[in-house]
Structure 1
Amino acid sequence: MEQDKDLLGIKPVARAAEKSVDGVGAFLGKICMPVAEELGLYFQDKVKVWRANNAAKIESKAEELALKNGGFDGKAVHPLLAWKIMENGSFADTPELQAVWAGLLSSSLGKEPDDSNHIFINLVSQLTAIQVKIIEYSCLTASKYVSSQGYIQADDLILEKDVIFEISGCKDIHRLDRELDHLTNLGLFGDLGGGGFHPENGTVILTPSPLSLHLFVRCCGSSEDPIAFYQAKPKTKPEQQKN
């Protein structure tokens, strides 16, 4: 009997693809069946092995985050959000980007699903892995407080420029300048005219805007109020500090 031939060596790839695709949808099936069913067909017909693997990693991380944030029993995700998160997120092939997409999927869960994460999907779809690292650092490092009207705010965060080389893992100052300008244009840096390098004094401004602070909360997989998430408090007045 003539043995099967695989002249192009594609059988191992095909088997890997089948295995990857089979794993996509297990978690989505629990929280949003219509999109899980649609993704099953989509991945089988349209997506390469690497994209299916990316989606599986996002889904696994999202399930882990959901369990840490109270579980997902009785909760669901708005179908439009679930589709857009997986559609965009499946192109993410770095741990940083996969983590934020997973966070958005987890924070989209609710007893009564809404579409409040829609604006964050559009923002994350425009971010690079370097920008994700910068946002994480700025939101965690800057001092947060509650304004007199009850809004989350951050104090100015101004650092020596060498700090951003370490944060980002990139030493190309021109690329970093572009990345910071893009974050400013997206509205993710706050006061002092946005963020970026000072052209003369060797510092970098990394003050996160309120939008950035909100985005980071959702990308951590939480739908918690940002004031509670950051444990922010109103600023203490100078005269109160003296007492």
Structure 2
Amino acid sequence: MPDDPDFKLQIDVPALSTLADTTDRLLEAGTKGLGSFLSSLCQPGANEMGLLIQDKIRGWRAQNFAKYEPKVARMIEALNIENPRLAPRLLTLAVESASQIEDDDIQNVWAGLLAGSSRSEESAKKSLLFMQILESLSPECVRIIAMSMTPPRCINLSENRGVAFYGNKYALEMVLAQSGCSNPTDLGDVISRLVGLGLLNVASGISEDVCSLVPQPLGANLVARAEGHDMSAKDAYGPAIDFSALSEEERSNICTPIISVTTTIGPRS
């Protein structure tokens, strides 16, 4: 069971060897340059300095990994995945990234993506895309995407135009507090980046004291995969909501996406 301190994910031996070799190479490369620089300023002792830095980095990453592994284990158990298997490439990517991150929100997303990938080869292929996206995101970006999907509200478009999602309107101060952004300018930069990456809809933005966060299908699918769903956000969070059935207060907090009339914005299934 995951709460057992002896619990370990079931991983092929070659995957562990690959991970260990990669970690050692990165640590060596990351400290060698610093050691060379110090050696030109302070002799002797530069080599010992490099080894000390490596030890500290290893210790820090080991602490982060110690938090990360149980998250993956709990997620796999919660998803009832039988005989989970992890592809070496995804395992290396996830552990390399998660072990360098102290932020729980980011680690939780990495845990969800890795856990979901353990179902099958097909699941692993789909998780790889979102792992590569996640590598480029800051904790603030991840929190903003999550807020855009709280709660998720699916919209069915015409058959050839896929699916969209309503967004949410929040008080600006709330978004600043929950996202970790220190001021509206920084928040605006984060939103612009997410729009540029295709994770938020262009309807997202700040207007006076209100912040609108509207997910694109790609951002919605990232959230679905991070929660362990082995399907698109449309299937995970559908069916489409009945806007007319919402209360006036609920409608006032919904932000409608801006949809191109010529662009397919999401998968049909």
Question: Is this a same-fold pair by TM over 0.5?
Answer: yes
Closer, same or farther: CA 224–68 of 1 in aligned 2, 3 Å: farther
CA distance in 2, matches of 1:48, 1:25: 22
Secondary structure in structure 2 of the residue aligned to 1:157: strand
CA distance in 1, matches of 2:190, 2:104: 19
Closer, same or farther: CA 214–128 of 1 in aligned 2, 3 Å: same
Q: Is the 8 A contact 1:107 1:223 kept in 2?
A: yes
- Mapping of 1:118-137 within 5 angstroms? 118-137=128-147
- Runs of 4+ in structure 1 off by over 4 angstroms are 41-45, 235-238
| 1:159 matched to 2:159 | no
Tell me what 2:186 maps to: 175
Q: Where do 5+ consecutive residues of structure 1 fail to align?
A: 1-22, 239-243
CA distance in 2, matches of 1:234, 1:138: 16
Secondary structure in structure 2 of the residue aligned to 1:155: strand
- RMSD between aligned residues: 2.7
Q: Is the 8 A contact 1:31 1:72 kept in 2?
A: no
TM-score (norm 1): 0.74
Closer, same or farther: CA 49–79 of 1 in aligned 2, 3 Å: same
1:207 CA displacement:
0.2
How many residue pairs get matched? 208
AA of the residue aligned to 1:71: I
Closer, same or farther: CA 156–218 of 1 in aligned 2, 3 Å: closer
Q: Is the 8 A contact 1:145 1:153 kept in 2?
A: yes
Q: Where do 5+ consecutive residues of structure 2 fail to align?
A: 28-56, 245-269
| 1:31 matched to 2:11 | yes
AA of the residue aligned to 2:129: I
1:115 CA displacement:
1.6
Tell me what 2:109 maps to: 100
Q: Is the 8 A contact 1:154 1:208 kept in 2?
A: yes
Tell me what 2:120 maps to: 111
| 1:49 matched to 2:29 | no
| 1:214 matched to 2:225 | no
Closer, same or farther: CA 63–237 of 1 in aligned 2, 3 Å: closer
Closer, same or farther: CA 53–42 of 1 in aligned 2, 3 Å: farther
1:25 CA displacement:
9.9
Q: Percent identity?
A: 23
Counterpart of 2:199 (choices 181, 188, 192) is 188
